């Protein structure tokens, strides 16, 4: 056996080496950058720079999506500002119809709470509810009771299934809208007959009330219903579309005539603009869930994003089923391959596979040390006797170490690796 080789730093110049005078040299300036690493790193853990490089595309997409959402929200908020508001001159406002009503002696009063709307009802008052679906169930019930007792007219603008059953009992909303925007009256209601065709294509309704007047039919279902009160004190008008009240649509078809006749039958008009800041809703008389406050478009958008994410996950999935051995397309460091496979084993808690790989490699190396043929390296009856004869401490049963069951936890796996290394060192130095 040879002794240890002296290190390079401990060597001295050979006496036989000729000594030649050397010319003094200028000292070399130290490099300005950081010192280079003496050994290449073998870790495959991603660095922060690598993480940013991999994720910057996703981050950029999220930023663009967020910016687009903000822009769309700003545009929509600007477009919807003053919608159906009799004080607004926007295209979707209703200031034009309010001024025409004022010229005919009809006063318009704007209210924004259900309490004000209930207190303002009366036999000489028309109550227009601009967005009935915003109201809670308790608000709708109390508002219907107040209008039914007051004896005035109630105009409901585009109520859906959510609100029509409470505000107009006996009426149901069809799930589809009219395909045509301009419809003919086709009914005996005087206001509709005088107005003629109007932009009433919208939500369609159905009712079994015998005295209801159904106008502006599409596929047999009306988008305007006139419902007299049971006791003859007042009536209810259900509009399937708000188009006849918009500023930019008032001068088209018979929209102005129909709007003025429906809203000008009483000397006073109460224009109710429901909002989320309604006093009853803010006081918490009926709490809404988070999903009640989210517009339906966001729910559909979330569903589409979920489906897209699932399809992207299926597209990016590389394999299904157990791991299989495959040839690497490029040559990489052995340490990187070992660390990568170890990470995969640890990720799926495959201690049995890791232990089997450690024992197989150890048996192969031990067999070559003790002269056992490669074909018999994994046969306990051949390998274990050969190892026992080469050990300094005979008597230890090597079968559980080399052919035993898989370890129960990570600590046992580390202990197994240490014992295999100790056994190989002992046999190698014997």
User: What's the pLDDT tens digit per position in 42-87?
Assistant: 455 678 888 888 888 888 888 998 888 888 766 655 445 578 999 9
Determine which of 154-168, 241-255, 297-311 has the lowest per-residue pLDDT on average.
Answer: 297-311
Output the average pLDDT for the chain: 81
Q: Report percent pLDDT > 70 for the chain.
A: 79
Considering Cα of 6, then 7, then 11, then 16, what sign does the dihedral take?
positive
pLDDT in tens, 345-397: 888 889 999 999 999 999 999 988 888 888 888 888 888 888 888 776 666 78
pTM of this structure: 0.53
403 part of a folded domain: yes
Residue 34: what pLDDT? Answer: 44
Q: Are residues 263 and 363 in the same domain?
A: no
151 part of a folded domain: yes
pLDDT in tens, 285-340: 456 566 666 666 677 788 888 999 998 888 777 656 666 777 767 878 888 888 88
Domain of 194 in residue numbering reads as 82-283
352 part of a folded domain: yes
Q: Find the mean pLDDT for residues 211-221.
A: 91
CB 380 within 8 A of CB 403: yes
Read off the pLDDT band of 283 (50, 70, 90). Answer: very low
Residues 6+ apart with CB under 8 A from 291: 299
Full DSSP string of 127-196? EEES-GGGS-HHHHHHHHHHHHHH-SEEEEES--HHHHHHHSTTEEEEEEE-S-SSB---S--HHHHHH-
Total domain count, the chain: 2
Instruction: Identify the domain boundary among 283, 318, 349.
Output: 283
418 part of a folded domain: yes
Q: Between 299 and 148, whose confidence is greater?
A: 148
Residue 76: what pLDDT? Answer: 59
Instruction: Identify the domain boundary among 241, 258, 283.
Output: 283
């Amino acid at each position: 056996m040879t002794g240890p080789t002296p290190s390079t730093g401990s060597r001295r110049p050979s006496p036989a080496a000729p000594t030649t005078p050397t010319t003094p040299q200028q000292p070399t300036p130290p490099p300005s950058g950081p010192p280079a690493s003496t050994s290449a790193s073998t870790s495959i853990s991603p660095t922060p720079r690598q993480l940013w490089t991999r994720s910057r595309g996703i981050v950029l997409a999220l930023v663009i999506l967020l910016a687009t959402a903000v822009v769309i929200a700003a545009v929509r908020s600007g477009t919807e500002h003053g919608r159906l508001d009799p004080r607004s001159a926007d295209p979707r406002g209703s200031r034009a119809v309010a001024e025409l009503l004022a010229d005919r002696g009809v006063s318009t009063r704007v209210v924004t709470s259900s309490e004000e709307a209930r207190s303002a009802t009366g036999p000489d008052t028309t109550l227009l509810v601009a967005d009935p679906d915003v109201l809670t169930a308790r608000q709708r019930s109390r508002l219907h009771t107040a209008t039914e007792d007051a004896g005035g007219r109630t105009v409901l603008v585009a109520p859906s299934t959510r609100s029509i059953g409470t505000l107009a009992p006996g009426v149901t909303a069809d799930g589809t809208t009219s395909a045509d925007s301009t419809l003919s009256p086709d009914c005996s209601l005087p206001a509709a007959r005088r107005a003629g065709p109007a932009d009433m294509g919208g939500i369609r309704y159905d009712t079994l009330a015998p005295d209801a007047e159904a106008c502006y039919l599409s596929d047999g279902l009306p988008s305007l219903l006139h419902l007299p009160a049971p006791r003859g004190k007042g009536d209810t008008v259900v509009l399937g579309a708000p188009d006849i009240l918009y500023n930019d649509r008032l001068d088209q078809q018979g929209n102005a005539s129909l709007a003025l006749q429906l809203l000008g039958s009483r000397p006073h008009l109460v224009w109710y603009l429901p909002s989320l800041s309604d006093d009853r809703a803010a006081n918490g008389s009926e709490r809404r869930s988070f999903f009640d406050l989210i517009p339906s478009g966001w729910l559909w958008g979330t569903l589409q994003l979920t489906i897209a994410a699932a399809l992207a996950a299926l597209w990016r999935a590389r394999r299904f089923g157990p791991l299989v051995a495959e040839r690497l397309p490029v040559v990489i460091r052995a340490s990187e391959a070992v660390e990568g496979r170890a990470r995969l084993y640890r990720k799926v808690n495959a201690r049995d596979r890791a232990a089997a790989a450690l024992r197989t490699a150890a048996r192969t190396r031990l067999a070559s040390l003790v002269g056992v043929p490669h074909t018999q390296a994994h046969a306990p009856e051949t390998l274990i006797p050969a190892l026992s004869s080469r050990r300094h401490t005979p008597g230890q049963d090597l079968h559980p170490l080399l052919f035993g069951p898989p370890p129960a936890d990570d600590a046992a796996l580390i202990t197994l690796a240490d014992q295999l290394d100790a056994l190989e060192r002992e046999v190698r130095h014997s």
